[in-house]
Structure 1
Amino acid sequence: VAQRIQLGNQLETLDDPAMRRLVKAQVGNLKALALRIEKAIAALIAASPDLATRERLMRSAPGIGPIVAACLLAHMPELGALSSRQAAALVGVAPFDRQSGATRKPGRCAGGRPAVRRCLYLAALAIARSKKGHLAQTCQRLRDNGKPAKVALVATMRKLIITLNAMLKSQQTYRPA
């Protein structure tokens, strides 16, 4: 994806028609390769009954599409066997207090698995933009209460991973609260 974006940016600055054709061909090849990889991942998931069930359950939640579900299946296989706190901490969206003596600083979210965090960030962004559903309302309520946009998105990510963990643990599809 990064290479495709880089080539797209180069395409905008090229004046030579021959070079533009070459770069367009490379972009097309990268898109075709990405599509083949996505199909191979989907076939692997479909071939395993356990993975197919877990993917179906996850995709019933808002913001979770085939790419985010595949990312979670690959990078967080223990999802569904963890406590809520453990799931949030593994992703890196659990707030940790920063205090020393009488000094109290705002909590921080850090660490975790970066690939999962990136996927959940995109899912939370899609949820916030949709403005429909319980998770979107939670995000909007935080924004209305004066929280910065990133803080509201991280809180939505945390709520989403906890919800997904509970769904997989109970083997139930998403039910809005």
Structure 2
Amino acid sequence: MRVKTDAVDARMLARMGSALELVPDAPAAEDQNNLKELQIARTALVKDRTRLKNRLKTQTLAFTRRQMQARLAQIERQLTALQGEMERLINTCPKRTRAYAILRSIGGIDQVAAAAILIECPEIGALGKKQIAPLAGLAPMTRQSGTWKGKAFIQGGRKHLRDALYMPALVESRFNPDMRDKYLAMIKAGKPAKFALTAIMRKLIELANALIKADRKWKPKLA
């Protein structure tokens, strides 16, 4: 009988797991999908805000300007509410709450970027240095054939994770002495600005991963 066979199989698998001391994989956080849905909604609202701001520059009729401004104000309220809900869900998990606090300690990473990084890369802190950059699509790759060697480039990875790192990297390349020196050195060496900024993004995600793995906040170097 099928039901009886299934019960026997289940007991057999349980005994095998016990004998081998196997531990089942921890289930993904139940609210991870909810966080992702909130992030998608936030991205859509940001796009709407940018589109409306651009249209507002060309509007001369007072009536349409008032309507657009009202819609922009509504979008700002919705963005604030979305961010609050994201942080509420993040704080339902102690491990994620700690990772969020560590991310926020890094200069340039605000609450929006920290939430986005955790949502787009829930594995952060559990990966090695050589794993985190390719995951974000920030590991440099070079086309090579025989003695010919082309320019380095990036490909693949999680685009939304790279998007979350862009503004923090831009801030760090201007205000963090170490990051700024690295950025300016690459520019001085003739590297394109985009290439240099990508390197800063890679440094940031590697730093964030290392700090979360070590369970410690970032501290600026003393002069």
Classify the TM-score, shorter chain. over 0.9
Unaligned runs of 5+ in 1: none
Q: 2:112 aligns with which of 50, 53, 67?
A: 67
Deviations along 1:134-159, one digit per CA (max 9) or x if unpaired, are: 22221122222222211111111111
1:167 aligns with 2:205: no
Distance 1:4 1:74 in 2: 22
Aligned to 1:40: 85
CA-CA distance at 1:176 after TM superposition: 4.8
Alignment of 1:1-177 (within 5 A): 1-130=46-175, 132-176=176-220
Distance 1:163 1:2 in 2: 29
Higher gyration radius (CA):
2
Deviations along 1:13-64, one digit per CA (max 9) or x if unpaired, are: 2222222211111111111111111111122222321111001111111211
Q: Percentage identity across aligned positions?
A: 34
> Number of paired residues?
176
Task: Compute the TM-score of the two structures, normalised by the length of structure 2.
Answer: 0.74
Unaligned runs of 5+ in 2: 1-45
Distance 1:136 1:41 in 2: 31
